[in-house]
Amino acid sequence: MSKFTVPDKVLFVCTGSKCAKRGGKDMYKLAHKFAKHAKDDIEVFRIECTDRCDYAPVCTISPGNTWLKEYSPKEVLKLLED
């Protein structure tokens, strides 16, 4: 069994149709660029749907299982920096 590195933080950004229209797609692109230059090891994943369309856009950050709804990019990047 081979070993692999586990990132310090993981961001899952919903880019389903409603979230994408409300900023999810742009948030994914911004966070992906941010992660490349962050001091922590951060991985950013695009997910298709969280089934929380009433709260779009939606994302979650681990560890901590923090869910954000109707977020601004500034809020997400601040949590990734902490």
> Does the pLDDT value for residue 33 go beyond 90?
yes
Residue 38: per-residue pLDDT: 92
**Model confidence at 4, in pLDDT bands (50, 70, 90)?**
confident
Cα separation of 8 and 49, whole Å? 24
Residue 49: per-residue pLDDT: 92
Tokens of 76: 């997400």
Cα separation of 36 and 20, whole Å? 22
Cα separation of 2 and 35, whole Å? 25
Q: What is the mean pLDDT of residues 43-72?
A: 95
**Model confidence at 3, in pLDDT bands (50, 70, 90)?**
confident
